[in-house]
Structure 1
Amino acid sequence: MNLRFLFRTLLVSFVLLAGVSSNAQAQGKPNYAYLGLEPDIVTNYVGTTARKLGYVRVTVELMINDVELLEIAEHHMPLLRATAIEIFGRQPEEKVKSLTGREDIRRAILTALQDHMKQETGGEVVRDVIFTKYLYQGG
C-alpha cells in the first residue's frame, strides 16, 4: 500500500515538474547556458614602461543565449579564446589593476565576442562575459 502511494506521489510530481518546465519554455523564458574558456587566460599586459611587462590570469565564463547554441560556441572556442587573449594583451597596467578598468576590459571582450560570433554565425551567441577569477602581477 505504501509503495503505491509513493509511486503515485512520484508520478504526480514528475508530471507537474514536466509541465512547469515546458510552460517556462512556452512562455519564452530564456534558457541560458554557461561555457568556460578552458584553461584560464594567462597573458602579459603592458607595464608602466615599455620595458616592464606584467601578467594577468583570468578565469572567463561565457553566458550563452540558449542551450541549443552551446555546440556552436564550443566549435568557435579557439576564436573566442584568441579574442580574449588579444584584448588583455593590449591593456595598460592602470586598466588591468583598477576595478573600472576591469569592467571596461570585460565590456570590450563582450563586444568583440558578439561581433565575431555575429560574423561567423549570423546571430548573437554570447550574452555576457563573467570573470570568476582575476589575478595580476608585475608591471
Structure 2
Amino acid sequence: MFRLLALCLLLAAPGTLSAQEETAAPAGPIYYTMTPDIITNYQNSGQNLGYVRVAVELMLERPEQLTVVEENMPLLRDALNDLLAEKSRQEIRSLPARAGLADEGRERLNELLLQETGQTPVRRLLFTTFLYQ
C-alpha cells in the first residue's frame, strides 16, 4: 500500500527543475531582425548605379548575445552597407553569388564584433528580402 501511495505521489507531482538546472540547459539560437532594411547603391554598368534593398536576419548563438548586437548596430549596418556597395551588378543579381555574399557578410560582422567585444555571435546572416534594380 505504501509503495502504491508513493508511486501515485511521484506521478502526480509536477516535474520541476531547480533554477540552477533551468539556467544550465542550453538555449537555442535566436534571430534578430535588422530594421530598417538596408538600402544602398552598387556599381551597375559604367557610370550607372544600381539600387539594392535587403532585409537582414541575424542568427545569434545565444540569447544573451542580443545586447552585443544591439549595442553595435550602427557599426554592423555600415559594414553591410559597404559590402553591398562594393559589389558589381553580376554579383548582386547572381543567386550563387548572393549565398556567398551572406557568408561574406557574416564573416565581416563577426570580425568587427570580435574587435569591439571579443565575441563572434553571428552564426548565420540571412537575406529575407533581396530587391535590386
Deviations 1:30-71 (A, max 9, x none): 42111111100110010121x111100100011111101111
Structure 2 CA distance for aligned equivalents of residues 105 and 26 of structure 1? 35
Could you tell me the TM-score, scaled by structure 2's length? 0.81
> Is 1:96 aligned to 2:87, yes or no?
no
**Is it true that 1:33 corresponds to 2:30 in the alignment?**
yes
How high is the sequence identity, in percent, across the aligned residues?
34
Alignment-derived partner of residue 113 in structure 1 = 109
Q: TM-score, normalised by structure 1?
A: 0.78
Residues 61-118 of structure 1: per-residue CA shift (max 9 Å, x gap): 1111110111111000001100100000000000100101111211111100010111
Residues 25 and 86 (structure 1), Cα distance of their counterparts in 2 relative to 1, 3 Å cut? same
Read off the aligned partner of 2:38 and give its amino acid letter.
I
Q: Considering only aligned residues, what root-mean-square deviation do their CA atoms show, in Å?
A: 2.1
Report the 3-state secondary structure (helix = DSSP H, G, I; strand = E; otherwise coil) of the residue aligned with 1:37: strand
Matched residues in 1 for 2:60 and 2:108: separation? Answer: 15
Larger C-alpha radius of gyration, 1 or 2? 2
Letter in structure 1 aligned against 2:33: G
Indicate the SS of the match to 1:48: coil
Structure 1: stretches of 5+ with no match in the other structure: 1-11
Provide the residue aligned with 1:45 in structure 2: 42
Q: Cα deviation per residue 1:111-135 (whole Å; 9 max; x = unaligned)? A: 0001011111112111110110111
Indicate whether 1:80 and 2:81 are aligned. no
**Alpha-carbon offset, residue 26 of structure 1:** 3.9
Tell me how many residue pairs correspond in the alignment.
Answer: 120
Structure 2: gaps of 5 or more residues: 1-11
Q: Which amino acid aligns with 1:55?
A: Y
